[in-house]
Structure 1
Amino acid sequence: MDAALGPPEKMAESEGDLTPMMSQYFELTRRYEDALVLFQVGDFYELFCEAAEAAARICEITLTAREDSTGEYPMAGVPIDNAEPYIDDLLDAGYRVAVADQVEDPDEVTGVVERAVTRVVTPGTLTEDELLGGDDNNFVAAVAADDDGGFGLALLDVSTGDFYATSLPNAARVRDELGRFAPAELVTGPGVAAERFEDGTFVAEYEDAAFDGERAAETVAAYFGSVDALAGDAEVAACGALLDYAEYTRGGEDGDRLDYLNHLTRYDPREYLQMDAVALRSLEVFEQRSVHGAEGTALVDVLDETACALGRRTLTDWLRRPLTDAEEIEARHEAVGELLADPLTREELHEHLRDVYDVERLISRVSRGRANARDLRALKDTLDVVPEIRGLLADADSKKLRDLRASLDDLPEIRDLLSRAIVPDPPQELTEGGVIRDGYDETLDDLRETERSGKRWIDDLEEQERERTGIDSLKVGHNAVHGYYIEVTNPNLDSVPANYQRRQTLKNSERFVTPELKEREDDIVRAEQRSQDLEYELFREVRNRVAEEAERVQATAAAVAAVDALASFATVAASHDYARPEVGGDGIHVEGGRHPVVERTEAGFVPNDTDLTPERRVAVVTGPNMSGKSTYMRQVALIVLLAQAGSFVPAERARLRVVDRIFTRVGASDDIAGGRSTFMVEMTELSSILRAATEDSLVLLDEVGRGTSTTDGLAIARAVTEYVHDELGATTLFATHHHELTADAERLADAVNLHFGATRNEEGVTFQHEVREGPATASYGVEVAQTAGVPEAVVERARELLDAADVDADASEEQTEPARTADSGDHDESAVEETLRDVNVAELTPVEALNVLNDLKRDLD
């Protein structure tokens, strides 16, 4: 961000010479020195000086100049009615944006019009649909430190009112939660190093005083009555500061309350299956991974058969925070099962849910005074759907569906108010009339009748005046500047009556007005203006009345959202043959399990069984590349995740234990900017797993140790296997090319070998993608290299080297140690022979094989 966005240094000593408007602008830039100020001037938001130059560069708009008696200033502007795309560009560039609107009517003010910042737009406090750009939550987070090394975390979605708080013992757990919620913005308190948590998140600077314990407690209590629901001073500080920051972004001297915030949910992360950002990425729960240049599909997308934005957000939240309470999990499964068994009800629910608007965001706009008449009508249309949904759930057997039905409140008095007050198809603008229905207000009806009768009189005037004057071409018209008039062409001016008063002269005609017409016009204009003013006043009264019921609207929205998410789970289960899992066993038993994403994209997907028990809790998985090891491991994790989220699972049958965390160390990545190699990233992630996993965790390890030498990598892999088995006791799937680990699996009491097989024939290798008991017998690295398109000469040479290595290995096994010693005295090995003797070809990856081949060629040369 540019360091200086206010007046240039050369003006600092002479600001008294600035024009009143420019003085006003620079005063706002000082007050909001951490933001770009969009300053309303007529129909545009203008920026000046350094701010204008920054905006012109970022938004690719024209940089002009403003010149007055005090000097010339760089200037750039964007149209008010299309400002959102430009604001979005500025946010993407790392700026906050303070929007300064005219708060006085220019026609009623002598001198400079007063402007005030009405909102501060930041990435985490967006409320405008055009800027939010999707249905998912948009969180802003605050982190506060306590005296014992722990932290309080608060998360708020300003657009919906979702508000969460928790306490965490260390920075690593804070990162886990931030990875889970993926906030768009982070505010940190005193003593909190933002760089420990930001991970690409926009970090906002805010006053440390907001985190003060006493001030934060007062802020929280002002919203929720007390701080009793929170645990610890750090939670209070984080929540209070976050509320303070959200108010600040509303504009005004002291900010503005968020009256629609009715619930603060204090949660313990241990109540949910925990996954850090690494696990969420590697399992592709929310992020799509590009495959061969084509966009992949995320888990949330294959599960999303929701009908409305409310359901989509709830589905996402359930995947973000799967349950760990078996009874609650079973309650969701029971509801999904009931909807699955009744396709007619499920389809009718879907049809009605399609008519549900995003009332969580809508009610927040209502409470902030930003909702228009169309928003209120959308709320009414949504409330009209609620009785239909209640009716469809009237005979529900599952407790979950019965409870949701009881929570569906159609707010009959609000429905009636909106039905009586707001026209069915209202205009976008509030101040131009046509919003309030006839019959709602007697005074408004009288004003409208005065206006209508006046216009009827004027409509009849043209015919009357033609007959009276004998001028057939006479016309009665209206324009915004001169009002109503009677127009007579020049050839007929001699026939104009004496009571006509000239109003305007045109090239070919004259326009006139009569005292009667002027009186009627005044009546119409007065009635029209009073009507518009009264309509706006009545609309605000209706909107305020709706805002008073925000809590009831939010409760109904939550119930509708849960119904939609459960129906989505049932629809997916019906369409893709998912089975209801049994939850609460002592292991992970799956028959015919499938990867929920891969099976949609690859024809002929091969299902696989999984049998992990306390006596088989560590599985060493071997087999060729491309045989399906990684897909299989992810598949097991995703089946567990889906089950605990409340969904049925892609399998014939499943009996699953409840796990507390899912850890993954899958795939290669680096952090060049952070100075960390691929291997360092791998070891850092591994360290986190080994320190945090418990006997109730599910751990996926893929090729641990491959980022270093073969000897070091094998040593690390073996040590990790033993530690997971002996110390952690976690259920673990460990995919590896270190075949020595298969011997460890046979030696360790609660470990087992699994492998993916392949068959070699004249045409190459066929991968069977089927998991079997026991270790793999080969890695088929050369065949994979050939499949990948490695030049044939390299492949053939690799095969020769592989055959030679096999012969040497056989010969070595047949020789006795004394014979090898005697022979070594008669023959000096070349460098090539020494290299080949040390190579274990079965362990080489294709890239390693090419490196060895290159080294051999160099030695021979």
Structure 2
Amino acid sequence: MSPKATPLMTQYQEIRDRYDDGILLFQVGDFYETFYEDARKISRILNIALTSRDKKNPIPLAGVPIHAVDAYISKLLAHGEKVIICDQVELPGEGKGIVKREVTDIITPGTTLEPSTLQEKENNYIMSIVSKGENYGFSLIDLSTGEFRVAEDSKQIVENLISGFQVRESIIPEGEDLLSTLILENSPGCSVESAPGYLFNEKEAEEELKKHFGVNNLSCFGIEGRKLAVISAGSLLRHIKDLRNNDMAHLSNILLIVPEDTLFLDAETARNLELTEPVRGDSPETTLIHHMDRTKTSGGGRCLRSWMMHPSRIIEVINRRLEGISSIISDQIMMRSLRSSLVGFPDIERIISRVTTGRASPRELLYLADALSRIPEIIEKCSSFDAKVVRENIDIASQPNNISDLIKDSIDPEAPSRMKDGGFIRTGFDSALDILIDDSENGRQWIADLQRQERERTGIPSLKVGFNKVFGYYIEVSRIHESKIPEDYSAKQSLVASQRYVTEKLKERETQILTADVRRIELEKEIFSRVCSEISARSHILQKVAQAVSILDVLSSLADLAIDRNFCMPVVDDSEDLVVSAGRHPVVEAISGKSFIPNEINIRPDERQLLLITGPNMGGKSTYIRQAALIAIMAQMGSFVPASRARIGIMDRIFTRVGSSDNLARGQSTFLVEMGETARILNNCSSKSLVLLDEIGRGTSTIDGLSIAWAVTEYLLENKSRRPRTLFATHFHELTSLSDKYPRLKNMRVEVKEWGDNVIFLYRILEGKSDKSYGIHVAQLAGLPDSIIKSAWQRFKELEANHVTSSVNDNYRHVQASLFKEPDPIREILKGIDPDRITPLDALQLLAKLHRISKDN
């Protein structure tokens, strides 16, 4: 710091030295200012002007007005920045020297509680990850709703958890760069912070959890003995408490994540199926959530999204949801009435979080009271629905509480959104406050009477009594009446056209009024704090009530969707079948604007394990295979599905290998990415999995690609421990011959009608082989110049005449340039021999075997 630094910049630098790991918003009057690198950064992110302070020694400067700061903070958080708020904590002139400033808040992407920085129907997670060997501890918290989850499992499972929960922020131990890479690979937009090692001490983490939840051991949460899970959860809880300077009382439970209970959808699958995020552009119209979400409440929207990203594998849970939807459908009049009652229902979970962390406003308490007072009406409108899941959630929502009455009795119905000027506690709630209010109001009435009295006494009709925060109360007289000023008036402020005065009586009354006002506001804040404490004491119950209402919202919205879109109730069982009659793609049907052509899906692994779909682009192959996955996900969510009938055997995972893309940042070509995705599927699928393959081998030569596709198909059919339900769309028509060798492979084709030189795509998938690709027809439809189309047809006829596209059979062999030599069988056998343990007889038999192999080769 320069010796000539101003007191303001000296104060700024002292605070900056203590808080150096985020953007410091430093209040100066009505603005939050930033300096140096912070100023350059927010100028770039927020697209605001970058100026400078002190022309002789320029200091970069950028600021935002306080009244609009929430919008700017939201943008900074979206870019993964930590924001440190430094406020003026006294008025100018109250103290000696420069105005006192303190850091009053620290906001990060994963810990923000401000409504303007949160998506209403999305969770906002922060997580902690630790590892030891092959095991990982994982925990996450949504501070805005009170959700706290934890797991201890393998790297692969934790990778799926990271991507599935769409985490915004993470903490990891210092020096664990591999964990940072793991997070960013599975959640690219996540902000990662390295935390000091002491935070991850096992004993301290366990004690932190025990103390917070008031328990002697952690067995009640199912995490006793899960050391990495405990370290992860305890470190995350301590980190949040320290950061937000609060005990986080609304974090009242820990849920252990059990991977076996959930259909796992990794990041690639969720992206390829466009469950919640579009693959291209920003429009949500191509996503499943956009067309399924008819929820009326914010909590209902978050609940539906959770069901979609983490479908259940527990048949009882799924069937309870399906029965709930069916029950609601049975009384559509009451269903519509229920949905009307949910419109505008306040977000109880997030209000409770703000109450318990001391951030709620009086108006938010009124919203909470409104929500609680509407619950009896919601319960009444659910009375005709007899499903068990509905009745259970009605019982939870019916839990008695007096919170609504407490709020209505204590908070003024016209309460302002901010507490600074008081006026938010209802008259009659506290007798001491009522006395102060009377004193204040009586004083103001005296002031009003004073203006009338002074006009009469002085004969100055324009005399007025006013007030401002700098000079307090005053009597203002225009200069043309200066000759009439009484002797007891003392000059206070001179203006161009008028003069302001005070009297001893006015100063005395001012002191009484302002003292009463200060005491009144202080007492109002004390009363408000007591009310919030009573609400916080019941936060666990209120969270359960909120979750019950959210589930009722989801069930009724899915019922409404099923009626409107003519969905059917699927049968979900423990088989390995996937049988769908007249199935439709739920998104394509919604956005196409025309009648969707339904198709059958019939997979029964003992007889029909792999459907090989051939035919032209634009014929519906990709839609067909994605449709199968979306129907399965919807069924395991507990939703009705777009079909006339459906029977879904429970799935453990859904894998997708679709489209083509490269990963330049990691030096991976399109083909290498494709092979990596294929390897991931083959190494992890099971007989309970669903595999979607939309082309394999397109990123290399035709012969190489066909060979790989052929081998992958055989592997999926031959591997007895891994026979997943598979839909494989391909342009390699040669693969259709595999049905002769493997009866469990069924050929399917896209139906096409030829009309002269044109083709008509009928979008029906039928049994049988397709012997044409119609690629040139598709190119013509895409608008390629006629000269190119004509040339392509000519070249096609020449190639066809030369039999370049000869088929491949079981005895097909070819030679290709290889990066690696084929393994020598004799060398491979010799590698597996232990000379010290082989017997003479074994050695003779081995020698004979090697002799036979050498003759064969």
Fold-level match, TM-score > 0.5?
yes
Contact 1:624 1:781 in 2 (8 A): yes
Q: Distance in 2 between matches of 1:29 and 1:465?
A: 53
Give the aligned partner of residue 69 of structure 2. Answer: 83
Give, in whole Å, the separation in 1 of the partners of 2:360 and 2:283: 40
Separation in structure 2 between the aligned mates of residue 111 and residue 840 of structure 1, nearest angstrom: 91
In structure 2, relative to structure 1, the CA distance for the partners of 1:798 and 1:131 (3 Å cut) is same
**Cα distance in structure 2, aligned partners of 1:505 and 1:294:** 60
CA 1:494/1:111 → structure 2, altered by over 3 Å: closer, same or farther? Answer: closer
Please list the CA deviations of residues 51-110 of structure 1 after superposition, one character each: whole Å capped at 9, or x if unmatched.
Answer: 3343344434444444599x7644433333322344344445554232233455655433
Deviation at 1:766, TM superposition (A): 0.5
Q: 1:804 to 1:347 in 2, by over 3 A?
A: same
1-side partners of 2:623 and 2:377: how far apart?
43
Alignment partner, residue 852 of structure 1: none
User: Aligned partners of 2:237 and 2:71: how far apart in 1?
Assistant: 27
Map residues 264-283 of structure 1 onto 2, 5 A cutoff.
264-283=254-273
* TM-score computed with the length of structure 1 as normaliser: 0.87
Kept after mapping to 2: 8 A contact 1:755/1:773: yes
- Corresponding residue number in structure 2 for 1:604: 595
Match of 2:407 among 406, 418, 426: 418
Q: Is 1:541 matched up with 2:507?
A: no
Q: Which residue of the other structure, out of 142, 163, 175, is the alignment partner of 2:128?
A: 142
Aligned mates of 1:118, 1:577 — CA distance in 2: 54
Work out the CA distance in 1 between the residues paired with 2:131 and 2:459: 89
Deviation, 1:180, is: 0.9
Question: 1:302, 1:541 → 2: CA distance?
Answer: 44
CA distance in 1, matches of 2:738, 2:8: 79
The answer to whether structure 1 residue 262 and structure 2 residue 263 are counterparts is no
Picking from 308, 320, 325, the partner of 1:319 is 308
CA distance 1:57–1:627, change in 2 (3 Å): closer
Distance 1:67 1:494 in 2: 48
Q: In the alignment, is the contact (CA less than 8 A) between 2:328 and 2:385 conserved in 1?
A: no
- State the Cα deviation string for residues 412-462 of structure 1 (Å, max 9, x = none): 321111001111131122020210111111121122222223333333444
Tell me, in whole angstroms, the C-alpha distance in 2 between the residues paired with 1:266 and 1:96: 29
Deviation at 1:581, TM superposition (A): 0.7
Summarize the Cα distance change of 1:463–1:101 in structure 2 as closer, same or farther, 3 Å threshold.
Answer: closer
Q: Distance in 1 between matches of 2:31 and 2:440?
A: 34
Cα offset, 1:185, TM superposition: 1.8
State the partner residue of 1:846. none
Residue equivalent to 1:156: 141
Contact 2:688 2:724 in 1 (8 A): yes
Give the superposition deviation at 1:256: 3.2
1:751-766 aligned within 5 A: 751-762=745-756, 764-766=758-760
Give the unaligned 5+ runs of structure 2: 810-857
Q: Which amino acid aligns with 2:313?
A: T
Q: Does 1:331 align with 2:316?
A: no
Question: How far off its partner does 1:46 sit?
Answer: 3.0
Q: Give the secondary-structure state (helix, strand or coil) at the position aligned to 2:688.
A: coil
Once the two structures are superposed, what CA deviation does each residue of 1:785-841 show, in whole Å capped at 9, x if it has no partner?
A: 1111122222223223333444x3xxxxxxxxxxxxxxxxxxxxxxxxxxx443459
User: Comparing 187-196 with 727-736, which one deviates more in the overlay?
Assistant: 187-196
SS at match of 1:838: coil
2:480 and 2:200 mapped to 1: Cα distance?
81
Structure-2 residue corresponding to 1:838: 804
3-state SS in 2 of match to 1:412: coil
Which residue of 181, 189, 206 corresponds with 2:165? 181
Q: Distance in 2 between matches of 1:385 and 1:213?
A: 45
What is the aligned partner in structure 2 of residue 643 from structure 1? Answer: 635
Where 1:83 maps in the other structure, the secondary structure is: helix
Find the counterpart in structure 2 of residue 824 from structure 1.
none
Count of paired positions:
794
Q: In structure 2, how many angstroms separate the alpha carbons of the residues matched to 1:737 and 1:714? A: 9
Q: Does 1:788 align with 2:775?
A: no
What residue is the counterpart of 1:812 in the other structure? none
| Structural RMSD (CA) | 2.7
Deviations 1:674-704 (A, max 9, x none): 1111111111111111111110111111111
Deviations 1:612-633 (A, max 9, x none): 1131111111111111011011
Which residue in 2 is equivalent to 1:109?
95
| 1:831 corresponds to | none
Choose 741-750 or 316-325, whichever is displaced more.
741-750
Question: CA 1:341–1:44 in 2, change beyond 3 Å: closer, same or farther?
Answer: same
Q: CA deviation at 1:763?
A: 5.3
1:326-385 CA distance string (max 9 Å, x none): 111010000011112212222222222123212211111111111111111111111111
1:428 and 2:417 aligned? yes
Contact 2:136–2:154, Cα closer than 8 Å, also in 1: yes
| Alignment pair present for 1:528 and 2:513 | no
For residues 454-477 of structure 1, give each alpha carbon's deviation from its aligned partner in whole angstroms, at most 9, with x where no partner exists. 333333444444555555454444
Amino acid at match of 1:438: T
- Whole-angstrom distance in 1 between the partners of 2:461 and 2:191: 71
Shift of 1:179: 1.4
Q: In 2, distance between residues paired with 1:740 and 1:839?
A: 9
Is residue 659 from structure 1 mapped to residue 644 from structure 2 by the alignment? Answer: no
- TM-score, scaled to structure 2: 0.87
Distance 2:501 2:84 in 1: 49
Moved more, 378-387 or 583-592: 583-592
- Higher mean Cα deviation, 181-190 or 85-94? 85-94
Amino acid in structure 2 at the alignment position of 1:177: L
CA distance in 2, matches of 1:33, 1:482: 39
Which residue does the alignment assign to 2:764?
770
Structure 2 counterpart of 1:355: 344
Overall identity of the aligned pairs, in %: 39
8 Å contact from structure 2 (residues 300, 550) kept in 1: yes
User: CA 1:534–1:25 in 2, change beyond 3 Å: closer, same or farther?
Assistant: same
309-318 vs 716-725, greater mean Cα deviation: 716-725
1:378 correspondence with 2:367: yes
Shift of 1:114: 4.8
**Equivalent position of 2:707 in the other structure:** 715
Partner of 1:35: 22
Residue 55 of structure 1 is aligned with which of 29, 34, 42?
42
AA at the equivalent of 1:184: R
Which amino acid is 1:195 matched to? T
CA, structure 1 residues 447+183, in 2 after alignment: closer, same or farther (shift >3 Å)? same
Matched, 1:249 2:235: no
Are the aligned partners of 1:620 and 1:745 in contact in 2 as well (CA < 8 Å)?
no
**What's 1:99 paired with?**
85
Partner of 2:674: 682
Moved more, 557-566 or 36-45: 36-45
Q: Would the aligned equivalents of 1:213 and 1:233 in 2 still touch at CA under 8 Å?
A: yes
Residue of structure 2 equivalent to 1:859:
none
The match for 2:212 among 202, 208, 223 is 223
| 8 Å contact from structure 1 (residues 176, 275) kept in 2 | yes
Q: Which moved more, 1:388-397 or 1:324-333?
A: 388-397
CA distance in 2, matches of 1:761, 1:491: 99
Q: CA deviation at 1:496?
A: 5.5
- Structure 1 residue 34: deviation in Å? 2.7
Shift in alpha-carbon separation, 1:696–1:113, aligned structure 2, 3 A: same
| Cα separation, partners in 2 of 1:311 and 1:495, compared to 1, 3 Å | same
Contact 1:431/1:533 (8 A) holds in 2: no
SS state at 1:357 partner: coil
Distance 1:125 1:488 in 2: 54
Gaps of at least 5 residues in structure 1 are: 1-6, 809-835, 844-861
